[in-house]
Amino acid sequence: MMTNLQFIKKSLIQAENAYIWYKNELESCYKDRVNFLPSDPLAIWYKEHLKEMKAYEEKQLKKYTKEMEYEREGLNPPNMYE
């Protein structure tokens, strides 16, 4: 059985990997002007989607980092009181 600290560590690693992937994919979309034309609606949608997902993963990183700090100090996580 996985402890809460192990779960947070795995979630943190997964969020970090996803953030890095979205960031790299977004950079490659802006560099590749042949396949991702600025006027193509599908390319525009894809770039916006990548931006949204990158922002989401960034929020998840912050959330899991905060939970890790609270868990290591032996405190209840901040979302427990919401």
Report whether 64 contacts 19 (CB < 8 A): no
81 found inside a domain: no
- In the numeric block, which tokens belong to residue 28? 């490659």
6 found inside a domain: no
Element holding 28 (H helix, E strand): helix 4-31
33 found inside a domain: no
Q: What is the pLDDT along the chain (82 residues), one digit of tens a residue?
A: 888 889 999 999 999 999 999 999 999 988 888 788 888 899 899 999 999 999 999 999 999 999 888 888 888 776 777 6
67 found inside a domain: yes
Please tell me the distance from the alpha carbon of residue 56 to that of residue 39, in angstroms, as a whole number. 26
30 found inside a domain: no
68 found inside a domain: yes
Element holding 21 (H helix, E strand): helix 4-31
Q: Which residue segment(s) compose the domain that 65 sits in?
A: 15-23+38-73
49 found inside a domain: yes
Contacts (Cβ under 8 Å, ≥6 apart) of 46: 29, 36
Count the domains in the chain. 1
Place of tokens 């949204």: 52
pTM of the model: 0.82
